[in-house]
Amino acid sequence: MTDRFLVIHTDGGARGNPGPAAIGVVVEQDGRVVERLSRVIGETTNNQAEYQAVYAALEWAEQHRARRVDLYADSELIVKQLRQEYKIKNKELAPWFLKIHSLANRIGAVRFHHVTREHNAHADELVNQALDRQTLGGIGS
């Protein structure tokens, strides 16, 4: 598949800011869900979790030979930073920005889109499931 096109929804969140955090990723191809990622990522901020979700999504896309990706996230700040419409003022986010753009360049064509939380519900649900599993497992608070 030399021109594999994926639609990806990402979300990241922390309970507390910073606090226990997780990511959720939903990957679609031809209107079908082909992958769901849901995992805890340790203690971090909401914005760092959002960036880590985007990175995990694009890493998966590159590993599966995607050449075009439309990525949707409900964090307007992250999307506008990734589109270079906003400057990155937080020094902890800058390395994630660079890693993501390096991956995007290797993939080929990656477009970042902002959507409302309602249009990102599946990825948001995966974040909460990961955090709930962590809490139920006695790891989180």
Give tens-digit pLDDT for 98-135: 999 999 999 999 999 999 999 999 999 999 999 999 87
pLDDT of residue 134: 83
Angle, helices 121-136/46-63, rounded to nearest 10 degrees: 110
Q: What is the pTM of this model?
A: 0.93
At residue 8, does pLDDT exceed 80?
A: yes
At residue 1, does pLDDT exceed 60?
A: no
Query: Domain limits of the chain?
Result: 4-135
Residue-wise pLDDT for 22-64, tens only, equals: 999 999 999 999 999 999 999 999 999 999 999 999 999 999 9
Task: Read off the pLDDT of each residue in 67-92 and give the average, rounded to a whole number.
Answer: 97
- Say if domain 4-135 classifies as CATH 3.30.420.10: yes
Whole-angstrom CA distances from 138 to 96, 101, 127 are 29, 36, 17
pLDDT of residue 2: 53
Cα angle: 126, vertex 128, 131; to 5 degrees: 110
Average pLDDT, the chain: 94
CA distance 98 to 63: 18
